[in-house]
Amino acid sequence: MTPSQSLPLDGLCAIVTGAGRGLGRVEALELARLGASVVVNDYGQPGRDGSGEASMAPAQGVVDEIRTAGGRAIAHLGDVSDQDQARSLVELAVTTYGKLDILVNNAGILRDRMIFSMTEDEWDSVIRVHLKGHFNTMHFAAAHWRARSKESGGPVHGRIVNSASEAFLAGSAGQPNYAAAKGGIVGLTTSTALALAKYGVTANVICPRARTRMTEDVFAGFRKPEDGRLDPLAPEHVAPLVGYLASPAAAGVNGQLLVVHGGMVAVVERPRVAAKFDSAKETFSFDELDEVLSPYYADRPPNETFAATEILGLKRG
* pLDDT number for residue 48: 42
Read off the pLDDT band of 225 (50, 70, 90). Answer: low
Is 99 in contact with 13 (CB distance < 8 Å)?
A: yes
CA separation for the pair 288, 279 (Å, rounded): 8
Flag whether pLDDT at 116 surpasses 50.
yes
Query: pTM for this structure?
Result: 0.89
* pLDDT number for residue 316: 87
Read off the pLDDT band of 305 (50, 70, 90). Answer: confident
The 10s digit of each residue's pLDDT in 9-49 is 999 999 999 999 999 999 999 999 999 999 999 997 554 44
For residues 161-183, average pLDDT? 94
* pLDDT number for residue 309: 85
Read off the pLDDT band of 56 (50, 70, 90). Answer: low
Is 104 in contact with 152 (CB distance < 8 Å)?
A: no
* pLDDT number for residue 232: 74
CA separation for the pair 99, 93 (Å, rounded): 7
Q: Cβ–Cβ contacts within 10 Å for residue 90, how many?
A: 23
Q: What percent of the chain has pLDDT over 70?
A: 88
Flag whether pLDDT at 53 surpasses 60.
no
For residues 292-312, average pLDDT? 88
| Beta carbons within 8 Å of 41's beta carbon, 6+ residues apart | 15, 16, 17, 18, 19, 24, 59, 75, 76, 77, 78, 80, 89, 107
Q: List, by residue number, the catalytic residues.
A: 165, 178, 182
